[in-house]
A and B are shown apart, each in its own frame.
Chain A
């Protein structure tokens, strides 16, 4: 079974190719069979592979497929690598991906057959790219998948490309990602220059053998890799594409936010953990960016009114937590949060899709309300996933988020030349972010599902629960959101007994780095109690603000009291506008100058002048052609005499 690892990539790719080739002819039924079937087969195959791999005690299995390129002493093989880290990713990417494919059958059913086939083709291609990224055994194969998910996100975000703003959102995602990719590329070049190989096993073996020799290069490479991760995983300051990515169909948002794409950055940092763990500076940068993003995005989420935008900012914020964990050396905890987040965020997005579906395309939560009775399954699954996201025990998000916060707090006792304290500050940010998360998520729940319906009568008439193909994925993901956390129970919760299966499994691939001292059991319980209390506090505050007959009175009063602050948050701190002013506009000016100045005047000018000169000359010379034969013969004679005169004189 393990030897069939290559088939995991081939199946989705074959599905995509078949759908693209047959897009003109396939009807809905054929498209669904091919599109969902290919991912279903991939899931079954992956489960078989993982079942067999589970008995291997975390060894690394590398499958070299072919020698891809060879130049000088650089040889790159197209090789796949299965180790605990890629095994975890393989599992949830195929599982959540499959569930989203099933859901898409119901959600996209009203599309025409060609658009439907195109949609599933892109979706399959997305899975192929993500699996390439996850299974790549060297930086270059990983980069192929990395660019592949970028391309697919562009195609899917701009799926409704007839609308200008959707096409623009796709373009924005692609361009912003490319900025990060530039850093990643530089990191690959540098890694090759320093290590002479881009193979993970090779690089880490050299690094482990002679740490001091590579010490000066570790931090620059790690930081450049992290630039790539910032772009792909939507961290400050390159997060701006992710909220706009909501322009795509809702299942695509679920796929991008939960299973594929944005998790790639965290995965890559964890994959390169041997490199990052050698550089406290890089770790600190990772943690700081993560912590700041976590709170920054959460505050924006407070004032958004689009159901998907709230979830988008929550994703940015949660990705911040993942990097916070990775930056504290707890790569296992970061991946654990990726893992649990995949379930509850997919559930939330698919739930929001169900809500939008029911409200005839309405996305503004101010025009919703009271949907709990009409959409019972959507409501309950949404609440479970929201509780998981808020970190309420014993749901999945509680275990992963708590582990991250605990590790960050512990890292605060590190020395790091006085910079260890920074981790304590980041821990405070993390706790504040947890409060904000619980608050804005329950604001969303209350405004969407509770109270009175605030939309039009016609919309109210059409309210209905979604079809089975959409409801069952929600149920499955809600169960997942509830239980997957038990895979990684922190040691404190079991009073020191080690039941953290997840971390043990991951350990051979990404050993955690202990930056600070262990904190005592009592303090750990205190931290856990604090973060739960903070989450509950956020939930209660949201209940007071947005539920009951006096709902919205307090928030409106606050917004009225501090109009400027509210304005700032509601407009996302004007970051997009600032980027527009600082980056886009000057870039456009430069482009305009090179068009109108360099191209039109500098290049076209001389060429057009030459053409103009030729034309004028012809215009004048044509008067010689009188049509009179004797005239011509006179000219010939004159010419002959002139030539003779030239020769003789």
Chain B
């Protein structure tokens, strides 16, 4: 018996919530990047699930695009973090508060 789409969507929502909580609550830059990856994968999961439900490939193609973009984002993000670490000796985002009113 096939797994209903509802289960995939609930799982995706849970994953998204976990990722969002990571982004909001962690202070380490790497953890935040990980959180973002989890959120992206939650989106991927629901895309794939709906593609399966409708029997079309559009959603799956989209997943590949998201993966490619996520890879690029991680490259830039990690490079930024390296630069930040070299500059202030830490990757704690709470210390990055120079641009404020």
Binding site for B on A (CB under 8 A): 622-623, 625-630, 633-634, 637
Contacts and interface: CB of A to CB of B under 8 A. Distances in A.
Interface in B25-52: 25, 27, 32
B10 interface: no
A637 B17 CA distance: 11
B54 interface: no
A630 B93 contact: yes
B24 A634 contact: yes
A623 B101 CA distance: 6
20 contacts: A622-B101, A623-B101, A625-B100, A625-B101, A626-B97, A626-B100, A626-B101, A627-B100, A627-B101, A628-B100, A629-B32, A629-B93, A629-B94, A629-B97, A630-B23, A630-B24, A630-B25, A630-B27, A630-B94, A633-B23
A509 to B, nearest CB: 83
B96 A629 contact: yes
A628 B24 contact: no
Given A627-B99, A628-B100, A630-B27, 17 more contacts: A622-B101, A623-B101, A625-B101, A626-B97, A626-B101, A627-B96, A627-B97, A627-B101, A628-B94, A628-B97, A629-B97, A630-B23, A630-B24, A630-B25, A633-B32, A637-B20, A637-B24
A622 B32 CA distance: 25
Nearest to A622: B101
Contacts of A625: 99-101
Interface of B: 20, 23-25, 27, 32, 93-94, 96-101
Contacts of B32: 629, 633
B77 to A, nearest CB: 12
Contacts of A627: 96-101
Nearest to A623: B101
A331 to B, nearest CB: 83
Contacts of A630: 23-25, 27, 93-94
Nearest to B25: A630
Contacts of B100: 625-628
Q: Which of A625, A626, A627, A637 has most chain B Cβ within 10 Å?
A: A627
Contacts of B24: 630, 633-634, 637
Contacts of B99: 625, 627
Contacts of A622: 101
A626 B25 CA distance: 17
Nearest to A621: B101
A388 B96 CA distance: 97
A474 B23 CA distance: 101
Contacts of B98: 627
Q: List the 8 shortest-distance A-B pairs measured between CB atoms, nearest first.
A: A627-B100, A627-B97, A622-B101, A629-B93, A625-B101, A633-B23, A627-B99, A628-B97
Contacts of B27: 630
A392 B5 CA distance: 126
B78 to A, nearest CB: 16
Nearest to A626: B100
Contacts of B93: 629-630
A250 to B, nearest CB: 69
Contacts of A637: 20, 24
A630 B29 CA distance: 10
A628 B24 CA distance: 11
Q: Which of B32, B99, B101 has most chain A Cβ within 10 Å?
A: B101
A629 B101 CA distance: 14
A316 B78 CA distance: 93
A396 to B, nearest CB: 87
A631 to B, nearest CB: 9
Nearest to A630: B24
A633 B100 CA distance: 15
Contacts of B96: 627, 629
A309 to B, nearest CB: 70
A532 B47 CA distance: 120
Nearest to A628: B97
A637 B98 CA distance: 22
Nearest to A625: B101
Contacts of A634: 24
B85 to A, nearest CB: 15
Q: Which of A622, A626, A628, A630 has most chain B Cβ within 10 Å?
A: A630
Contacts of A623: 101
A634 B20 CA distance: 9
Nearest to B36: A633
A649 to B, nearest CB: 18
A622 B99 CA distance: 11
A575 to B, nearest CB: 66
Nearest to A627: B100
A645 to B, nearest CB: 15
Contacts of B97: 626-629
Contacts of B94: 628-630
A623 B100 CA distance: 8
